Amino acid sequence: MTMISRPRRLPSASWLLLVPALALLAAILLVPLGQSLLRSLGTPQFTLQHYASLFTDGVTLKILGRTALTAAIVTMVALVLGYPYAYLMTRVGPRTRGILLTIVLIPFWTSVMARNFAWIIILQRGGPVDTFFSFFGIKDAVFYGNVTGVTIAMSQVLLPFMVLPLYSSLGAIDRKLLLAARGLGSPPIVAFWKIYWPLSRGGVVAGLILVFTLSLGFYVTPALLGSPQESLIAQLLATRTTQLLDFAGAGALGMLVLVVTLALVAWANRVGGSVTALGAVATAGTKERA
Amino acid sequence: MSIVKEAAVTQDTPASAEVKRGTEIRLDHVTKDYGLAVPAVDDISLTIEPGEFMTFLGPSGSGKTTTLNLIAGFETLTAGTIALNGTEVGSLPPHKRNLGMLFQNYALFPHLTVAQNVAYPLRERKLPKPEIVRKVAEVLELVQLTGRDDNFPSQLSGGQQQRVALARAIVFDPKVLLLDEPLGALDRNLRASLQAEIRRIHREVGSTFVFVTHDQEEAMNLSDRIALFNAGHLEQVGTPEALYRDPETLFAARFLGDSNVFELDERPHSATTSWHGLTWAVAPHTVAVPRPSLSHYAVVVRPEDVNVTRSASEAPRGTNAVPARVRDVEFMGSYRTLMLEFGTSGVVGRARIDASESQVALGDEVVASWSPERQRIVAA
Amino acid sequence: MTSLDTRALLTASAPPRRGRRRRDRGVDPTPWWLSMTGALVAMYLILPTLFVIPMSFSSSSTFQFPPKNFSLDLYVNFFTKPVWLTSLGNSVLVAILAAILATVVGTAAAVGLDRLTGRVAGLMRTLLMVSIVTPGIVIAVAVYASFLQWHLTGSLLGYVLAHAALGVPFVLVSVTSALGGFDPALLRASASLGASPLRSFVRVTMPLISRGIVTGAIFAFVTSFDEVVIALFLRAPTFQTLPVQMYNSVTVEIDPTISAASSLIVVAVTIIFLVPQLVGTRKKNR
């Protein structure tokens, strides 16, 4: 029988409901980004110099490289910590799973400043970490003011973006396959490598891309926990704008970062499915990723 | 066939809530096209009498639900008109049509209690509070759910929920009640008892009921008349008995009840016809009217009209006969069903015989026969 | 979900990385090393932030940890020093207004999108979610440049608009989720009973999606309240939000009042998010 599941309604009324949201987003996001784009291409007249100089000024590429490297390290840390965590989530009962999920989302919803300040306390000279290591005779274990501290802090808040896609993918793997492999004589490590890992690859790749992409845009954490000598791309963008007042150059750099980000997210979408990428992001909620 | 109902009115009845009579629903060349290969509803014309219990019967996708939705106003007409008591309603939005409706999944408001659900339409009509309370109590008593006022739908069983939905749909005295396969989600026993409820309420309330189902037993059980839908158009309209006894097409013969089907080469012109070398008598009034779109014809006989005997000589006089072989015997309790293969044609059919007849066995060669009065020639 | 009803079978057959351990017991229990790893990761996730709490009871003017004395000075500071109080007030005001705007606009969009299908509708939905995947710094820089032109920097309106735009996707996801569980037949029933589309929306749709709306509003509020990057760019001497003040207290002048502020925020947000979960209404994760 024909099922018309939506009550008859003027389609135009539904479109009208979208207008306020679209108008707000256009005004706050699309227009400024558009203006930025135009500025980057048209100052003083149509030119590609601002984009070209990104590659020639010697600074941008170096910082981009450093940012990418940091992002890569953060991504690896997130994978190493996130994989067992996600796997654990598939093994426990529903209530524990819910608790684990809540826990992994907590740093997310915790105030950016509170979190970073906490890391400052912990990682500073004379702080708990330093004290702990000097107990073992390791001096100067100060991770505040360098890339290590930044990495530690970023991994904490980006973990959910690894755990959620992973959990989604791992949850779909039937563990009986592994039992079957064992039954056929494989040792556990081989069973894992040959069966479990390949089946989890989709989630792993989606998680990797997502965490990497989000790491690129971090601002507050590197600004507070890093050092100016080791600044990342977001800080460069900020100084270009507020100190150098180079709006065109900043616009060009911003566009570059934006394009790279969108391309990577689209890729993650395709690999892990839109449920994984955007769903993980939106459900968890990205607040201020910095 | 509305003997028991109040007299139908043909002039415009004022749409006042107190008048407990049915509305006449007239569908005139109603068409609904979704832009697909075939229209969902194709040029349907039908008049539903005031106070009648009309069932739209048909397989999935036949257009019966779409037609109901057109009457309700949830779909817009591609062509044709729908008139309630003479007033065209094609452009009227559903909330202004004053029709009651029952849905298969009850559609009770989960955040409201039973009493609040039932009171909903009365609140929309801005009735004074004491009157709302009175009418709610009245109608809950009618559906035998008194005392459940403060329960939430989730606390009730399926049957109870459907009765609340029924109460809600009639509390504002609509003159038409549309029922969209309301019993589909219920188990057999519950269906039977709710069918009885619905019939009873129809008699008490007297509104026009339009009931959609794909269950032919249910249709025959409940209805004053049945409109049989097939692929978007009306195959046949009539009382259950008329449809059962005198189907006009093969589709109708097959959809309602069981049929033995013998395909013919052409429409019988004279008093006889032939099938696979056999000559059969044809009673003229049993031949269906030709249909422009159907060019083939068949003889159909109901299993209960088929006699089974050991030889042609034992067959009753004046009957049409065909040799058959018994392929299967099913014991159904009060009767047996024989699966027969007729002649050497490979055509298979059924005959119904008394349970006490123990003579016929698997593999037997028998003769199946029936009176020409009991056979129908239908278009196919 | 994987079914783990392997009663008679050996357990723990596929360790992800480390050693292995067999248990002969009936149902497939979690290996100890896995639970421990999970617990360690969980601690890494939660514990560090908690350091701000004992820190907030310090009396010193540095960030030294562990704090020497126990005092409530920092809390007093937080609620009396004008620079902290006004920034708190501004944050609350902006967050409330931004949440309201995001909720109204986002709910309307969710309801509208719920009825629409087709590629254009899908495109609209993606567009409305864009701010989630765009790096905050890129948005901040662009918005700053444009707001300078439009004279919106350092203004309440500017903050509210920017934060509302960030909050819309959360409201959209939350309300869409609530609408997903909504039975469309209910609206038909409501219409058949005489309620106009508007009345049906008010009497039927809204009550049933109210939980989703409230959840979305809370997300939008918290998003605005904690937002740092755009706030840093839009700030003016006359108008700044709490996160900005906290940022200053680490970078410009060391002010340990930030510990008190942090503790309060951590506790408040925890309550906001955990209480509904404990009360039993599990937020649906999709």
> Using CA of residue B309, residue B314, residue B318, residue B323, what is the dihedral sign?
positive
Size of interface B-C (CB pairs under 8 A): 64
The size of chain B, in residues, is: 380
Low-confidence ranges of chain C (pLDDT < 50): 1-26, 281-286
A148 sits in which H/E element: helix A147-171
Q: Is residue A150 classed as helix, strand or coil in its secondary structure?
A: helix
The size of chain C, in residues, is: 286
CB atoms within 10 A of CB B27: 21
Interface of C with A in 243-262 (CB under 8 A): 243, 246-247, 250-251, 258-259, 261-262
Strand pairing partners for B135?
none
Q: Cβ–Cβ of A31/C146 closer than 8 Å?
A: yes
Dist. CA C110–CA B280, nearest whole Å: 68
* pLDDT value at B17 more than 60: no
Task: Measure A44 CA to nearest chain C CA, in Å.
Answer: 16
pLDDT at B102: 93
Dist. CA C236–CA C218, nearest whole Å: 27
Q: What dihedral angle (degrees, nearest 10) is formed by the CA atoms of C268, C269, C270, C275? A: 90
Q: Are B324 and B367 in contact (CB under 8 A)?
A: yes
B168 contacts on C by Cβ (under 8 Å): 193
Nearest CA in chain A to B61: A1
Per the omega criterion (within 30 degrees of 0), is the bond before A44 cis?
Answer: yes
A119 contacts on C by Cβ (under 8 Å): 48
Q: What rounded mean pLDDT belongs to chain B?
A: 87
B105 contacts on C by Cβ (under 8 Å): 183, 185
pLDDT band at B108 (very low <50, low <70, confident <90, very high): very high
Q: Which of C135, C140, C168 sits opposite A21 (nearest CB)?
A: C168
pLDDT band at A85 (very low <50, low <70, confident <90, very high): very high
Task: Measure A56 CA to nearest chain C CA, in Å.
Answer: 21
CA angle centred on C180, ends C175 and C182, rounded to 5°: 100
pLDDT band at B2 (very low <50, low <70, confident <90, very high): very low
Q: Is B62 on the interface with A (CB under 8 A)?
A: yes
Distances in Å between the Cα of A130 and the Cα atoms of A121, A134, C69, C259 are 11, 6, 21, 20
B53 sits in which H/E element: strand B53-57
Dist. CA B327–CA B348, nearest whole Å: 9
Dist. CA A35–CA C145, nearest whole Å: 9
Q: Cβ–Cβ of C188/B94 closer than 8 Å?
A: yes
Helices (H), ranges, chain C:
32-50, 52-55, 73-80, 82-115, 119-133, 136-150, 156-180, 185-192, 197-200, 206-226, 229-234, 242-251, 257-278
Q: Cβ–Cβ of C228/A127 closer than 8 Å?
A: no
CATH code reported for the domain at A49-284: 1.10.3720.10
pLDDT at B30: 93
What are the strands, taking DSSP E only, across B141-184? 176-180
Q: Cβ–Cβ of A4/B40 closer than 8 Å?
A: no
The mean per-residue pLDDT over the stretch A33-45 comes to 87
Size of interface A-C (CB pairs under 8 A): 346
Q: Is residue B376 classed as helix, strand or coil in its secondary structure?
A: strand
pLDDT at B235: 92
Percent of chain A with pLDDT over 90: 28
Dist. CA A4–CA B69, nearest whole Å: 9
ipTM metric: 0.83
Q: Is C273 on the interface with A (CB under 8 A)?
A: yes
Q: Cβ–Cβ of A1/B62 closer than 8 Å?
A: yes
Per the omega criterion (within 30 degrees of 0), is the bond before A94 cis?
Answer: no
Nearest CA in chain C to B120: C193
Task: Measure B234 CA to nearest chain C CA, in Å.
Answer: 26
* pLDDT value at A99 more than 90: no
Interface of C with A in 73-132 (CB under 8 A): 101, 104-106, 108-109, 111-113, 115-116, 124, 127-132
Nearest CA in chain A to B180: A1
Query: Bigger pLDDT: A278 or B198?
Result: B198
* Cα distance from N-terminal residue to C-terminal residue, chain A: 53
Q: Are B273 and B282 in contact (CB under 8 A)?
A: yes
Q: Is B95 on the interface with C (CB under 8 A)?
A: yes
pLDDT at C27: 56
Of A270, A269, A263, A267, whose CA–CA distance to A281 is shortest?
Answer: A269
Q: Which of A35, A90, A116 sits opposite C146 (nearest CB)?
A: A35
The mean per-residue pLDDT over the stretch A59-79 comes to 92
Q: Is B63 on the interface with A (CB under 8 A)?
A: yes
Task: Measure B373 CA to nearest chain C CA, in Å.
Answer: 47
Q: Render pLDDT for B210-254 as a digit per residue (tens, 0 to 9).
A: 999 999 999 999 999 999 999 999 999 999 999 999 999 999 999
| Predicted TM-score (pTM) of this structure | 0.76
Q: What rounded mean pLDDT belongs to chain A?
A: 82
Domains, in order of start, for chain C = 81-255 (1.10.3720.10)
Q: Is C55 on the interface with A (CB under 8 A)?
A: yes
C187 contacts on A by Cβ (under 8 Å): 7
**Is residue C10 packed enough to be buried (19+ CB in 10 Å), middle (13-18) or exposed (0-12)?**
middle
Domains, in order of start, for chain B = 25-242 (3.40.50.300), 249-379 (2.40.50.100)
Q: Which of B65, B66, B74 sits opposite A8 (nearest CB)?
A: B74
C286 contacts on A by Cβ (under 8 Å): 275, 279, 283
Nearest CA in chain A to B66: A2
Q: Is C53 on the interface with A (CB under 8 A)?
A: no
B107 contacts on C by Cβ (under 8 Å): 183, 185-186, 188-189
Pair type for strands B225-230 and B233-238: antiparallel
The mean per-residue pLDDT over the stretch B326-351 comes to 88
Query: Bigger pLDDT: A8 or B99?
Result: B99
Q: Cβ–Cβ of B124/C195 closer than 8 Å?
A: yes
Task: Measure A26 CA to nearest chain B CA, in Å.
Answer: 35
Q: Is B269 on the interface with C (CB under 8 A)?
A: no
Q: What dihedral angle (degrees, nearest 10) is formed by the CA atoms of B247, B252, B257, B261? A: 80
Of C193, A4, C199, whose CA–CA distance to B97 is shortest?
Answer: C193
pLDDT at B237: 95
The mean per-residue pLDDT over the stretch B46-69 comes to 93
Q: Cβ–Cβ of A2/B76 closer than 8 Å?
A: no
Dist. CA B69–CA B237, nearest whole Å: 19
B94 contacts on A by Cβ (under 8 Å): 7-8
B72 contacts on C by Cβ (under 8 Å): 188, 192
pLDDT at B4: 36
Q: Is C180 on the interface with A (CB under 8 A)?
A: no
| A270-279, B361-370, C177-186: least confidently modelled range | A270-279
Query: Bigger pLDDT: C285 or B132?
Result: B132
Chains contacting C (3 or more CB pairs within 8 Å): A, B
φ, ψ of residue A288 in degrees (nearest 5): -95, 115
pLDDT at A1: 39
Task: Measure A250 CA to nearest chain C CA, in Å.
Answer: 8
pLDDT at C34: 87
Size of interface A-B (CB pairs under 8 A): 26
Of A215, A211, A212, A224, whose CA–CA distance to A119 is shortest?
Answer: A224
pLDDT at A278: 47
Task: Measure C211 CA to nearest chain B CA, in Å.
Answer: 12
A179 contacts on C by Cβ (under 8 Å): 6, 9-10, 13
Q: Are B301 and B307 in contact (CB under 8 A)?
A: no
Chains contacting B (3 or more CB pairs within 8 Å): A, C
Q: Cβ–Cβ of C142/A275 closer than 8 Å?
A: no
Dist. CA B254–CA B261, nearest whole Å: 9
Nearest CA in chain C to B105: C185
Residue to mutate among C117, C192, C198, C208, with most B CBs inside 10 A, is C192
pLDDT band at B14 (very low <50, low <70, confident <90, very high): very low
Dist. CA A119–CA C163, nearest whole Å: 26
Query: Which residue's entry shows tokens 């729908």?
Result: B82
Nearest CA in chain C to B110: C208
| A95-99, A279-283, B332-336, C136-140: least confidently modelled range | A279-283
Percent of chain B with pLDDT over 70: 94
Q: Cβ–Cβ of B66/A2 closer than 8 Å?
A: yes
C203 contacts on B by Cβ (under 8 Å): 120
pLDDT at C203: 93
Task: Measure C153 CA to nearest chain B CA, in Å.
Answer: 45
Q: Is residue A282 classed as helix, strand or coil in its secondary structure?
A: helix
What are the boundaries of each domain within chain A?
A: 49-284
pLDDT at B125: 93
